Amino acid sequence: MAKKRIAVVPLWDEEKNSIWMLPNYLDGIRESGGVGLVLPLHVQPEDAVEILDMCDGLLITGGHDVSPSMYGEEKKDTCGILCPERDVLEQALYRRAVEQDKAVLGICRGIQTVNVLEGGTLYQDLPTEVPENVGHHGKPPYDQVVHEVILTSELRRLLGTDRLGVNSYHHQAIKQLGENLEVMAQSEDGLVEAVRHKHRRFVWAVQWHPEFSFWSDGNSRKIFQEFVDNC
């Protein structure tokens, strides 16, 4: 059987004016039986979806903040650097993937993108908007546990546990949940940490970073394996 082809949204380095990729995203796909294909960033949306049509799944990576204009808000001073090209690219890719019922995995920015495109909103900056949080901005090495999450739904069934220690590196998070989404994990301060699409075969997204902990944590490997198996 041919390996599953996974379209991977590229990362952007504005200082070097170049796309790049963390190898662990591709390692996780490869070790789970797939092949990760890093997409171009500066491409017309119709060309991007044609590439997706040749793939079996979509991985939405971490990265820049999602533009608040995507959920009808003005950008606050505490919001981070934006990448409008990613906003345009991911909207086209996600809509097509959901339309075709392709498997989707969102990580960090990925869960925020999925939530916004399903009609939800975000906290633009947790330290100022949710000051009594458990601390979601870890320091190197990024595979270390920062806090625990409480698991429900399909993620609890997959991992076989009610609680999970996760690595964490973000300053934005889901505020209002998108209408088609179901919560699969929450942190102890009540923030949404994982979601699934209620009406699609496999659209999952997590706020933590299983790519950083792929080699050291069996649960991270299970998440990647479940994604690739559903592609």
Does residue 1 surpass a pLDDT of 80?
no
For residue 143, give both structure tokens.
Answer: 């595979």
Would you please indicate which residues are annotated as catalytic (active-site) residues? 108, 209, 211
pLDDT of residue 47: 97
**What mean pLDDT value characterizes the chain?**
97
Percent of the chain with pLDDT over 70: 100
pLDDT of residue 133: 87
pLDDT single digits (tens) 19-55 = 999 999 999 999 999 999 999 999 999 999 999 999 9
pLDDT single digits (tens) 62-86 = 999 999 999 999 999 999 999 999 9
pLDDT of residue 55: 98
User: Taking the complete model, does pTM exceed 0.85, yes or no?
Assistant: yes
* Cβ–Cβ < 8 Å for 208, 198: no
